[in-house]
Chain A
Amino acid sequence: MTEPIVETKQSENKEWEPKIIAFLCNWCSYAGADLAGVSRIQYPSNIRIVRVPCSGRINAYFIIKSLTDGWDGVIVSGCHPGDCHYISGNLVARRRFAILKELLEFFGIEAGRINFMWASAAEGERFAVLVRKATEIVKKLGPNTKFDKKW
């Protein structure tokens, strides 16, 4: 916080690029991202990855806090239904995501900023495709300004 932050929110010269925080579950999606990297499958450099034990660890606090902290988009990715390392973490999380997504829409906040997906450890290609897709959605929505404070 007090240390200088090298990255700035918007680089003025270049075309605007969204900044997306991605919460990946340790067992599937993080390994999937790893595989995408190892296999040299290209995906947008807009995402910054946070590894979490399970997609069930993610609740609305993380997602909304990311938005209030200025991230333009949030991705949460976990194991496919039935594959969860903790049996049902992703299934409970799925209900949470459903509600959050609909609520955001109801509040008139761009629900496209938050994207949920399943990607297994073997699906490096799928991971890259979905991240690309999410990045495009967020890019279309433009910078996240609804949570900006007045300075």
Chain B
Amino acid sequence: MAEKILKKDDIGRLYSELEKEYKFYAPTKVKGNIAFKKISNAEEIELEYLNSKVPPKDVLFPQKETIFEYRYEGKDVIIEERKDLEDKLLIFGVRLCDAYSFKLLEDFFASGDFQDDIFLKKRENATIIGIGCNSPRQSCFCTSVGGHPFQKESTDVFLSDLGDTYLVEAISEKGESLLKKLSWLTDAKKADLTKSKELAKQAEEALTTKFDFDLVTKVLDENFEHPVWQEISESCIGCSSCTFLCPTCTCFDVIDENDEYNNRGRRIRIWDTCQSCLYTLETSGHNPRPAKIQRCRNRIMHKFSYYPSNYDCLGCVGCGRCITACPVNNELRLIIDKILEIEEKSGEKVSA
């Protein structure tokens, strides 16, 4: 299908046409931060943004989510499954690193003998409209983890910001059928395509942080007990900013919430984090990961060693949120540097 052009002034029209069919999620300003929320007005859409504070995984895997509801009738329990999973979702204006995270999440939740039906159903019913990242931040490193500021593959429809207009490309079948509904879009010219390509190139060049993650994985696999972990975890204060703002973190806790006056309740899941002491604390009092060193290590190992060995890809999309969020600036780039230093040092020894 041919590429189309969407004028920036026509976003409102796009919204009002799609809003009837889809639950329309878009980046919008909430208390000074960009967040993906279900919007009720096209004016709220904020497309000129760096990236959202809380990643858009929040839409498909919200911080608090009902697994099922229940009712007590005497000694009987009646379980009611969720009915809203069939709603059609539209996630508009997602950065490409986050769009890629949806693929990772989907692969993770679909892996193994048990599939997470709740997430997968939502994912199936969600259409993702991605937007190219013209000016990546200093803390971004998507190209090192197999992404790209203009990586179209993980979206359904792809937008690139050409100044006054957006170039619109349908990437998947879902995207094509969505574009068919927007028949009023004009056709793109060759110059627009060239411009988009140019922007992509510029964006790629703007990314200065680059890592060889194959090497990182190799070093991590060999150095579980290395003293560098002590150094890495030293200044960590054990808050969970990095994990809560991570687009690929999936850990959750399961809780029963009761409405005691009405003999009903719901089993919910809420985000949990490997940085919390309670995460692994057993009822007996034994804790397999009792200190910060183990918890910090678990986070890094999970993303860059366990993920590759279990799912054959890195558990990171290079969005840089953990880098900007860390309050003590104990950030990922430094950690990776320290890990790679192990390899350099051992290399020196061999050559010496």
A touches B in complex, CB < 8 A: yes
Residue from A5, A69, A70, A149 in contact with B263 in the complex, judged by beta carbons closer than 8 Å? A5
Chain A interfacial residues counted at CB < 8 A: 10
Contact between B261 and A9, CB atoms less than 8 A apart: yes
Residues in chain A near residue B261, CB distance under 8 A: 5, 8-9, 70
Known contacts being A2-B72, A4-B72, A4-B74, is A149 close to B260, with CB within 8 Å? no
Residues in chain A near residue B72, CB distance under 8 A: 2, 4
Q: How far is the CA of A126 from the CA of B131 in the complex (A)?
A: 70
Q: Mark A6-27, 1 if CB is under 8 A from B, else 0.
A: 0011000000000000000000
Q: How far is the CA of A1 from the CA of B264 in the complex (A)?
A: 10
Residues in chain B near residue A149, CB distance under 8 A: 257, 259
The B-contacting residues of A in range 46-71, CB under 8 angstroms, are 69-70
- Identify the interface centre among A1, A69, A70: most chain B CB within 10 Å of its CB: A1
Q: How far is the CA of A2 from the CA of B261 in the complex (A)?
A: 11
Q: Nearest CB to that of A8 among chain B residues?
A: B261
Chain B interfacial residues counted at CB < 8 A: 10
Q: Nearest CB to that of A7 among chain B residues?
A: B261
Q: How far is the CA of A149 from the CA of B74 in the complex (A)?
A: 24
Q: How far is the CA of A150 from the CA of B206 in the complex (A)?
A: 46
The A-contacting residues of B in range 214-251, CB under 8 angstroms, are none
Contact between A4 and B259, CB atoms less than 8 A apart: no
Contact between B259 and A5, CB atoms less than 8 A apart: no
* Smallest CB separation, B325 vs chain A (Å): 27
Q: How far is the CA of A5 from the CA of B261 in the complex (A)?
A: 7
Whether A151 is near chain B, meaning CB under 8 Å from some CB there, is yes
Contact between B258 and A1, CB atoms less than 8 A apart: yes
The A-contacting residues of B in range 156-192, CB under 8 angstroms, are none
Known contacts being A2-B72, A4-B72, A4-B74, is A69 close to B260, with CB within 8 Å? yes
Q: Tell me the A residues contacting B by CB distance below 8 Å.
A: 1-2, 4-5, 8-9, 69-70, 149, 151
